[in-house]
Every structure is written in structure tokens, then in C-alpha cells.
């Protein structure tokens, strides 16, 4: 538990004397999600967060964090609520002693986070980033959710501009920093893959003095980086500290041999795809670094389950659905299309694709490349979104573009037949899950 007096000292805020001993545990910035005993952070957005303080208190919030005092409400008053939330989380982190694993990367960081948590959970009391709590609001809430009995914490860090991971890592103070890869997502803001790599490497700025860095050993931009810390590599290359050999994929599963400098062991993943093997290698290497046995690592990865709309493969009404609508970039599009291509079916393979956002000047060429690739791996390539018109055009006679979710879903209903495999993928802002929902109505 944290007292308001202690939290105010961490963030430079003020508390009325009668509220100094009020305690809270955890924090939320959405009054609808507040749990009894938590701190409600009133942040400025489309609406003034102070308007929701009464609702949060009714739901059982112990106190509020804001920029002005409300009568009769236990509060920390600070100049900037968002920065104060981060400062409180930073102060609280210093009272804890879990093994903290920080994760970033262009693609696969959430899946890697889930895999690492599954692995560490076999040997430690483990907490992890929930939902999309990987930004300057969510990460402080993740830290404040940690309890004194937490032995391992797996914390995801997202960004789309320089300086964001630098801020987050100084709150989380990781003992191990994992970078999954360097892609092209957010290249609009960061200028180049080299810029993206530079932004991802900011995670090292908060790494403990004796911290360990775990990097994708198949990415030249990362193998060339000077980290200043003990650095280990995962991948398929012979020089990696942990590498994958002997991949065997079947319906919904992947088996491979994990080879280290000390031996090898078998891993079974309940998902398909070479990209998932890379994520599993990062998780396995993290587990080995933290002293877990090969058996524990294999157990954790066998029990891994992905979250949300990430490569969720299931059967419904005779169709095989690959729902991967959480986000998209050129690399993850290629990975999803490869899974579609390998799916055994007597029917057709239909790629339903939306725009890949935040690619800037690289966008048109990237969408055309995806269209050509999709034409090689799917029987039909149907698209939605202004840039995805280029995808449909590049797919040639297999391509068809639609102006609305409803038009696309209606056309799918008229054409698709049981036995077909349908991939739904696009950037989160394209809401391709709505096409899927409409298709089954």
C-alpha cells in the first residue's frame, strides 16, 4: 500500500494534511475500470479527467490524482497529472525487488511478452503488462499493479517517437532488456530503420548496471549495436546463443529444437509460424538467463496462449478463420500470409487485408509489395482502405477493393464457402475485426 503523503513526495505534489495517511494500491486512468482501493488518475484528453473523479470515488477509488483539489476528495494535486503518475510509479518501483524484463521491438513484442510470462510463471510469481498498457499511461499503471510478492515482472514498452522508450524504461528499471526485431512500423515518425533501431535501443537507458541485453541475432542493426552490457542473441544463425533448428509445422502447432552452447532441448508451440519461433527463442533465452530449467521453459511455451486479435485461428460455421487484426506492418503481413499459404484446405485461401498505417512515404511501395506477395500465397486478395487499393491492384486478377467494411463483408458472404480459409489483417485503426463480425452476422 502507498500513502498519499509518500506518493506526493515522489511526484512533487501536494496533499491536504487530513488525507496524508490515505492509502491506495494500483491505479487507473479510466473511471469505468477503477477497482476499490485504487488511485484514479484524472488526465486531460478529449474530456477533462476531473469530471470523472466523482464516478471513480463511487466505484471505490481510495483517492484521486489531479491538477486541482476537489472538495471532500482525498487527492494528490500536481502540476501535470500524467507526469506525476509516471513519477509515482518510478518511486514505487524502487521499493520493489522483482526481476524485471523489459520488452520492445517493431513486431511481436506483445506475443514475446506473453511467452516470457508463460515461461517465467513456471518458476516465479509473475506479473505482466495487461491489454495495451505499454505507453506513458499504461506502463506506470502496470508498475503500480505490481505487488510486494511479485518475483518477476514482464513489462512491454511501445513507442512511435524518439524519447518515449527512454521515459518508460527509466520508470520500469529492467534487469533484462529484450528487443524482438527492427521493422518498418512507425518509420513515418522515425525516418529510417536505423532511426527505429536507435529508438528501440533507448530501453538500455533504464537498464540496471549489471543488466543483461537479449537481442535478435538475425538482425544486423542489432548485432552491430554496442550495448555496454552483457549481451545474448537469439535467432536461426549459427552465432546465436540460442538458435532454432529442425522446424516442423503442422495444423496449429510448431515443433523445433532449441540449441544453446550447452546442449539442446525440444520445444512445442501451440501456434504456427517462423516469427513465433523467434518470439519463443527470446522467451526461452530469458528463462535460461533467469535460471529456469529446460523442462520449465518447454512447459511454459507449450502452455502459451496469445491475446486479443493476434493470430487467433479457429473454426466457425465450416470456415477456418485467422484473425490477426490487432496491428499490421510489412513484416507481420508477410508472416500472416505465410501462415495462410501453409494452411491445409480443400477450399480457397482468402486474404482480407486493411491498410498498414504510419509508414509515411514508404506506404505506397509497401502496400504494393504486400499485394504481390499476397497474390502468390492466396487465391483471393480483398482489401479495404485507401492505401490497400494499391495492394488489390498489385494482386492483379486476384485483387478486389472495397470502400466500406459492410461492402467487403457482404461480398464475402456471397462468395465464401465452408472449407475456405480466411485471413483478416490490418492496422488496428482499420478495424478489420468489424469485417469479420459482419461476415458472420
Q: Please report whether residue 91 resides in a domain.
A: no
Residue 360 has a pLDDT of 86
Under a CB-based contact definition with an 8 Å cutoff, are residues 66 and 31 in contact?
no
Residue 310 has a pLDDT of 67
Q: Please report whether residue 87 resides in a domain.
A: no
- Whichever domain contains 407, its CATH number is 3.90.190.20
CA separation for the pair 290, 428 (Å, rounded): 34
Please say if the pLDDT value at position 46 is more than 80: no
Together in a domain, 273 and 243 = yes
Q: Per residue in 270-292, pLDDT tens?
A: 988 888 999 999 999 999 999 99
| Sheet with 242-250: strands ordered across | 126-128, 152-156, 99-104, 176-179, 212-216, 230-235, 242-250, 253-260, 263-269
Average pLDDT estimate for 377-402: 97
Which grid cell is 424? 483478416
Residue 309 has a pLDDT of 59
Average pLDDT estimate for 338-357: 93
Percentage of residues of the chain with pLDDT beyond 70: 99
Residue 252 has a pLDDT of 78
- Whichever domain contains 69, its CATH number is 3.40.1390.10
Residue 326 has a pLDDT of 81
Rg for the chain (alpha carbons), in Å? 23
Total number of domains in the chain: 3
CA separation for the pair 408, 270 (Å, rounded): 31
Which position has the grid cell 528487443? Answer: 179
Under a CB-based contact definition with an 8 Å cutoff, are residues 419 and 308 in contact?
no
Together in a domain, 130 and 202 = yes
Residue 268 has a pLDDT of 95
Contacts of 317 (CB under 8 A, 6+ apart): 418, 440
Q: Please report whether residue 205 resides in a domain.
A: yes
Average pLDDT, the chain: 94
Together in a domain, 47 and 125 = no
Phi, psi at 32, each rounded to 5°: -75, -20
Please say if the pLDDT value at position 184 is more than 80: no
Q: Please report whether residue 256 resides in a domain.
A: yes
Together in a domain, 256 and 155 = yes
Together in a domain, 112 and 193 = yes
CA separation for the pair 171, 90 (Å, rounded): 4
Residue 366 banded pLDDT, cuts 50, 70, 90: very high
Under a CB-based contact definition with an 8 Å cutoff, are residues 325 and 351 in contact?
no
Residue closest to 31 by CA, chosen among 56, 50, 48 = 56
Across 181-199, b (16+ Cβ under 10 Å) vs e yields bbbbbbbeebeebeebbbb
Q: Per residue in 238-280, pLDDT tens?
A: 999 999 999 998 877 899 999 998 999 999 999 888 889 999 9
Range of the domain at 253: 96-302
Together in a domain, 124 and 258 = yes
Q: Per residue in 80-127, pLDDT tens?
A: 999 999 999 999 999 999 999 999 998 889 999 999 999 999 999 999
Cβ count within 10 A of residue 69: 16
Question: Is pTM beyond 0.85 here?
Answer: no
Together in a domain, 346 and 281 = no
Together in a domain, 266 and 350 = no
Together in a domain, 272 and 345 = no
Together in a domain, 121 and 62 = no
Q: Per residue in 306-330, pLDDT tens?
A: 765 567 888 999 999 999 888 888 9
Together in a domain, 178 and 281 = yes
Average pLDDT estimate for 1-14: 97
CA 281, 287, 292, 293: dihedral to nearest 10 degrees? 0
Residue 352 banded pLDDT, cuts 50, 70, 90: very high
Specify the length of the chain in residues: 441
> Exposure of 360 by Cβ count < 10 A (0-12 exposed, 13-18 middle, 19+ buried)?
middle
Residue 216 banded pLDDT, cuts 50, 70, 90: very high
CA separation for the pair 57, 77 (Å, rounded): 16
Residue 42 has a pLDDT of 96
Please say if the pLDDT value at position 186 is more than 70: no
Together in a domain, 207 and 331 = no
Q: Please report whether residue 89 resides in a domain.
A: no
Domain boundary among 302, 321, 345: 302
Domain boundary among 273, 302, 331: 302
- Whichever domain contains 235, its CATH number is 3.40.1190.10
Residue 134 has a pLDDT of 93
Amino acid at each position: 500500500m502507498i500513502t498519499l503523503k509518500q506518493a506526493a513526495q515522489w511526484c512533487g505534489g501536494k496533499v491536504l494534511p487530513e488525507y496524508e495517511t490515505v492509502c491506495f494500491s494500483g491505479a487507473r486512468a479510466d473511471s469505468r475500470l477503477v477497482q476499490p482501493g485504487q488511485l484514479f488518475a484524472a488526465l486531460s484528453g478529449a474530456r477533462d479527467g476531473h469530471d470523472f473523479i466523482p464516478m471513480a470515488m463511487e466505484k471505490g477509488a481510495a483517492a484521486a490524482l489531479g491538477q486541482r483539489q476537489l472538495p471532500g476528495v482525498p487527492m494528490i494535486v500536481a502540476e501535470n497529472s500524467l507526469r506525476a503518475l509516471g513519477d509515482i510509479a518510478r518511486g514505487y518501483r524502487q521499493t520493489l525487488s522483482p526481476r524485471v524484463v523489459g520488452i520492445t521491438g517493431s513486431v511481436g513484442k506483445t506475443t514475446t511478452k506473453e511467452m516470457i510470462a508463460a515461461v517465467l510463471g513456471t518458476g516465479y510469481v509473475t506479473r505482466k503488462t495487461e491489454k495495451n498498457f505499454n505507453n506513458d499511461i499504461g506502463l506506470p499503471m502496470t508498475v503500480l499493479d505490481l505487488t510486494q510478492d511479485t518475483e518477476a515482472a514482464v513489462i512491454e514498452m511501445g513507442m512511435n517517437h524518439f524519447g518515449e522508450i527512454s521515459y518508460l524504461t527509466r520508470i520500469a528499471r529492467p534487469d533484462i532488456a529484450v528487443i524482438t526485431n527492427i521493422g518498418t512500423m512507425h518509420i513515418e515518425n522515425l525516418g529510417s530503420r536505423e532511426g527505429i533501431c536507435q529508438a528501440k535501443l533507448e530501453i538500455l537507458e533504464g537498464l540496471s548496471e549489471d543488466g543483461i541485453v537479449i537481442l535478435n541475432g538475425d538482425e544486423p542493426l542489432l548485432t552491430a549495436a554496442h550495448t555496454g552490457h552483457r549481451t545474448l542473441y537469439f535467432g536461426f544463425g549459427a552465432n546465436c546463443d540460442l538458435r532454432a533448428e529442425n522446424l516442423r509445422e503442422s495444423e496449429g502447432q510448431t515443433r523445433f529444437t532449441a540449441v544453446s552452447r550447452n546442449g539442446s532441448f525440444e520445444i512445442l508451440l501451440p501456434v504456427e509460424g517462423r516469427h513465433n519461433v523467434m518470439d519463443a527463442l527470446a522467451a526461452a533465452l530469458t528463462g535460461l538467463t533467469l535460471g529456469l530449467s529446460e523442462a520449465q521453459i518447454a512447459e511454459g511455451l507449450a502452455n502459451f496462449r496469445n491475446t486479443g486479435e493476434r493470430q487467433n485461428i479457429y473454426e466457425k460455421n465450416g470456415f477456418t478463420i485467422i484473425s490477426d487484426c490487432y496491428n499490421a506492418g510489412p513484416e507481420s503481413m508477410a508472416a500472416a500470409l505465410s501462415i495462410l499459404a501453409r494452411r491445409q484446405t480443400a477450399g480457397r485461401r482468402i486474404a482480407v487485408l486493411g491498410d498498414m498505417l504510419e509508414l509515411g512515404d514508404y506506404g505506397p511501395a509497401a502496400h504494393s509489395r504486400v499485394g504481390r506477395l499476397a497474390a502468390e500465397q492466396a487465391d483471393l486478395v480483398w482489401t479495404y482502405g485507401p492505401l490497400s487499393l494499391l495492394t488489390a491492384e498489385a494482386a492483379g486478377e486476384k485483387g478486389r477493393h472495397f470502400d466500406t467494411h459492410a461492402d467487403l463483408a457482404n461480398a464475402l458472404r456471397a462468395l465464401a464457402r465452408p472449407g475456405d480459409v480466411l485471413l483478416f489483417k490490418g492496422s488496428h485503426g482499420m478495424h478489420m475485426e468489424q469485417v469479420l463480425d459482419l461476415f458472420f452476422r
